[in-house]
């Protein structure tokens, strides 16, 4: 095509372009409506109930810091286990409280308030140690919701168990519980038997 093709036919006006778009849009929408009416998997024109949407809404996230396992036994530390209750029952850090972390549901406000009320010098959270680590995620959520000095244990429960001296059987008489009520601070953990 050379320069001569420019004048082969009149250039369409903007009005013509808009009319083309309008006509095409209306005709195609009508076609869609007809197809939907005849199609076996068609849907009603107006939804009769709300859709179940599973999109995790972001929680405000705060700054958290890594903590070595031996830091859990320091005085004034509240220890939180972010794993599932079954895993918590199998093994947990002496005096730890179980606050299972869910990627979809935020932690209940009363549990968060309970943790903040302890006025612990620091809050140490450990989780499954996977990627993403439930402990770190819970720590970020708590920090974002007003808790201060929140730490997480890199590697989670596995890292704690690896240092076997820290390992505690679940029925060792510690004062942690599965309801998110904070158990003890670090000095209590030592007294409850076995934490390093």
- Report, in Å, the least distance between residue 130 CB and another protein: 18
- Report, in Å, the least distance between residue 64 CB and another protein: 19
Nearer to another protein, 61 or 161 (CB): 61
Q: How many helices (H) and strands (E) would you count in the chain?
A: 6, 5
- Report, in Å, the least distance between residue 28 CB and another protein: 4
- Report, in Å, the least distance between residue 105 CB and another protein: 14
Nearer to another protein, 3 or 165 (CB): 3
Nearer to another protein, 6 or 119 (CB): 6
Nearest to 171 by CA among 100, 94, 99: 94
Kindly provide the b/e burial profile for residues 128-148, where b requires at least 16 CB atoms within 10 angstroms of the residue's own CB.
bbeeebbbbbbbbbbbbbebe
Binding footprint of another protein on the chain (CB under 8 A)? 1-6, 8-9, 11-12, 17-21, 23-25, 27-29, 31-33, 35-36, 39, 41-47, 50-51, 53, 55-58
Nearer to another protein, 9 or 117 (CB): 9
Nearer to another protein, 40 or 109 (CB): 40
- Report, in Å, the least distance between residue 108 CB and another protein: 21
Q: CA-to-CA distance for 178 and 83, rounded, in angstroms?
A: 11
Give 147's contacts (C-beta < 8 A, 6+ positions apart): 62, 112, 115, 116, 123
Nearer to another protein, 55 or 165 (CB): 55
- Is the peptide bond between 132 and the residue preceding it cis, with omega within 30 degrees of 0? yes
Host H or E run for residue 181: none
Q: CA-to-CA distance for 129 and 29, rounded, in angstroms?
A: 51
- Report, in Å, the least distance between residue 149 CB and another protein: 26
Helix ranges (DSSP H) in the chain? 14-38, 85-90, 109-117, 134-144, 156-162, 186-191
């Amino acid at each position: 095509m050379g320069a001569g093709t420019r004048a082969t036919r009149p250039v369409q006006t903007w009005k013509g372009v808009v009319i083309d778009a309008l006509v095409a849009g209306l005709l195609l929408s009508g076609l869609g409506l007809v197809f939907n009416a005849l199609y076996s998997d068609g849907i009603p024109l107006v939804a009769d109930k709300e859709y179940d949407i599973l999109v995790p809404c972001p929680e405000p996230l705060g700054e958290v810091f890594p903590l070595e396992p031996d830091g859990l036994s320091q005085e004034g530390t509240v220890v939180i286990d972010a794993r599932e209750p079954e895993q918590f029952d199998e093994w947990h850090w002496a005096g730890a409280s179980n606050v299972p972390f869910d990627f979809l549901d935020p932690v209940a406000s009363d549990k968060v308030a309970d943790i903040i009320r302890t006025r612990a010098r620091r809050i140490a959270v450990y989780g499954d140690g996977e990627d993403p680590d439930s402990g770190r995620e819970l720590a970020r959520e708590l920090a974002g919701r007003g808790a201060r000095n929140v730490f997480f244990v890199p590697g989670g429960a596995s890292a704690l168990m690896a240092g076997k001296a820290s390992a505690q059987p679940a029925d060792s008489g510690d004062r942690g519980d599965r309801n998110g009520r904070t158990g003890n601070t670090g000095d209590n953990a030592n007294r409850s038997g076995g934490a390093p």
